[in-house]
Structure 1
Amino acid sequence: MLCAVEAHHAGLLGARTRLLPRAKLRPLAVTRRELGRLSLPEGLELAEPEPDMPRPGRHTTWVVGDAFSGKVQLAWITAFPRRVVIVDDGLATIRLLELLSGRVGAPLLRARATAGPLRTVLGVAAGLRLRLAARSGKLSIFTALPVPDALARAVRDTGAELVTHEFAWLRSQPLRRPRPEERTVVLGTSLVRNGLIHRDRYFTWLAGLGSDGPVAYFPHRREDPQDLARVREQPGITVYDGGVPAEMTLRGLAAEQRVLSLPSTAVTSLRVLLGARGVAVETVEVPDEWWTAQAAPSLRSHLSMFAHHDTGVSS
């Protein structure tokens, strides 16, 4: 949602954009509320949430984040929008770029998805339609992520437009939220809930941080409620209300503060937003013994691109 606003501000979407959040999703609801407190770019309408995804018209530019959604892919191959713009959806954006520029006929499926025959066929059809849009000059990808040079060239060779940004609109907005008082800020992770790292290793690390001094913990939107309850029990750790993107919540941190995070796309965004303020944003290097058997080498490789300026951890 935030990147869609940035894409409109950058002039990528045309004079008028209608931003439609899905209903009954708390992270989207709180992000919409936060956006409503800021000065939105001219021509951007922040619509009321709707339960169903509308079909794009033939003469519209359709902006989506989740390119691996079955509903989105079905619309691609049946609705024929004039142009498609894909905005950041976390690490999935990099996988999409790899699939788009890779083997023709590879299905557009999530990295760890187990798909049946029909879902695979849909993924193949969506991939072919997206390549056709790229060759026709009707596909743009808008991202703040560090796309490797070789991958960026391969994507552009398909005909797709690859546009990078540095949150120009958000950086121009006044600060509305008070910053946390704790010197150390930890971003929550979805790696535990997704079964990719061992829960006990993660909590041992958190306990060590809390024993060293006060810690502000900002949950990931997909963290398990039981895990968050356990985080709240850790001495020295204060859990803040989650849901709003970290880019919006933490952009007012002071130079004496620091952000710690396991590998995450939010690290890249926060470095862009906080670098000029002198705030250290550090990616925690995940020890080998933390990873579970579900963490494939390809996933670890993807996450490593966000591990610059690492900080080691004790397991």
Structure 2
Amino acid sequence: MLCAVEAHHAGLLGTRTRVVSRAGLRPLAVTRRELHRLGLPDGLELAGPEPDMPRPERGAAWVVGDAFSGRVQLAWLTAFPRRVVIVDDGLATVRLLELLTRRPGTPLLRARAAGGALRSALRAALGTAAALRLRAAARSGRLTVFTALPVPDELAEAVRSTGAELVAHDFAWLRGQPLHGPGPRERTVVLGTSLVRNGLIHRERYFTWLSGLGSAGPVAYFPHRREDPDDLARVGRQPGITVYDGGGPAEMTLRGLAAEQRVLSLPSTAVTSLRVLLSARGVTVETVRVPDEWWTSRAAPSLRSHLSMFAHHDTGAVR
């Protein structure tokens, strides 16, 4: 949602943009409320949440985040938007760019943990058809990818060779908005992770690391939207750790941190975004490398490699 606002601000979507969010998701509701509080750019409407995904109007630009969604892919096959703009949706954005540059028969399917849900023949067929349609849009100059993520030069060149437009941004709109209220006072801020709930890292390893941080000094913990409530309750019982109910994106919640503070996070796109937003404030944002012994058997080597690209500039480490 935030990146859709940034894309509108950057002039990629025309003079009027209507953003529709999924119903029943509290983080989206919080983000929508905070964006309204900041004051929206001219021509942008944050519509109320809808239970069903609206179909793109013929001849209009269609902005999506999750290009691996079956509903989104089906819409690509049954609707004819004038242009498709893909905005950041976490780590999946870079995987999408990688898949777009592979051989034409490569389907658009998520990176999966080993032992995850079976990819049915029907789902693979949909992913293949959607990839063909998206590559056709790229060849005709009707595909734009709008991202704040660090895209390797070789990959960026390969994406542009498909005909797609690759546009980098640095949260220009959000950086220009006034701050409302102080952030957490703790020197160390930890971003929560979904890796535990998804069964990709061992729970006890993670909690041992958190316990060590809490014993070294006060820690502010900002949960990931997919963390298990029981795990969050356990985090809150760790000495020295305070769990904050941020709700909205870390990019909005933590952009007021001070130079004496630091942010720690396991591999996450939020690390990249926060570095962009906080570099001028002198705040250190560190990616914590995940030791080999943390990973479970569900974490396929390809998934580990995919996550590791966000640790190229890290200064954090697990000890």
Q: Same fold (TM over 0.5)?
A: yes
SS in 1 for 2:127: helix
Written as runs of structure 1 = structure 2, the 5 A alignment for 1:45-60 is 45-60=45-60
In structure 2, runs of 5+ residues without a counterpart are none
- Does residue 216 of structure 2 align to residue 194 of structure 1? no
Deviations 1:171-222 (A, max 9, x none): 0000114210111000000111111111000000000000011100000011
Q: Which residue of 2 aligns with 1:159?
A: 163
> d(CA) in 1 for partners of 2:90 and 2:226?
13
SS in 2 for 1:150: helix
- Does residue 67 of structure 2 align to residue 67 of structure 1? yes
Q: Which residue of 2 aligns with 1:257?
A: 261
> d(CA) in 1 for partners of 2:102 and 2:287?
29
Contact 2:144 2:165 in 1 (8 A): yes
> d(CA) in 1 for partners of 2:103 and 2:26?
37
The one-letter code sitting in structure 2 at the alignment partner of 1:170 is L
Contact 2:190 2:221 in 1 (8 A): yes
Q: Give how far 1:59 is off.
A: 1.0
Written as runs of structure 1 = structure 2, the 5 A alignment for 1:172-187 is 172-187=176-191
In structure 1, runs of 5+ residues without a counterpart are none
Q: RMSD of aligned C-alpha atoms? A: 0.9
> d(CA) in 1 for partners of 2:118 and 2:38?
40
Contact 2:246 2:253 in 1 (8 A): no
> d(CA) in 2 for partners of 1:194 and 1:163?
31
Deviations 1:272-293 (A, max 9, x none): 0000000000111111111111
SS in 2 for 1:152: helix
Written as runs of structure 1 = structure 2, the 5 A alignment for 1:190-269 is 190-269=194-273
> d(CA) in 2 for partners of 1:135 and 1:228?
46
Segments ≥4 residues shifted beyond 3 Å: none
Q: Which residue of 2 aligns with 1:100?
A: 100
Contact 2:22 2:51 in 1 (8 A): yes
Name the % identity. 81
1:311 to 297, 309, 316: 316
> d(CA) in 2 for partners of 1:229 and 1:235?
12
> d(CA) in 2 for partners of 1:142 and 1:166?
10
Aligned residues: 314
1:278 to 265, 282, 285: 282
> d(CA) in 2 for partners of 1:296 and 1:93?
19
Deviations 1:150-188 (A, max 9, x none): 110111010000000000000000011421011100000
SS in 2 for 1:311: coil
Q: Give how far 1:39 is off.
A: 2.0
The one-letter code sitting in structure 2 at the alignment partner of 1:309 is D
> d(CA) in 2 for partners of 1:141 and 1:96?
10
TM-score by length of 1: 0.98
> d(CA) in 2 for partners of 1:217 and 1:184?
9
> d(CA) in 1 for partners of 2:153 and 2:47?
37
Q: Which residue of 1 aligns with 2:173?
A: 169
Q: Give how far 1:238 is off.
A: 0.3
SS in 1 for 2:302: helix
Contact 2:186 2:261 in 1 (8 A): yes
TM-score by length of 2: 0.97
Written as runs of structure 1 = structure 2, the 5 A alignment for 1:17-36 is 17-36=17-36
Q: Which residue of 2 aligns with 1:115?
A: 119
Contact 1:105 1:124 in 2 (8 A): yes
Q: Give how far 1:298 is off.
A: 1.6
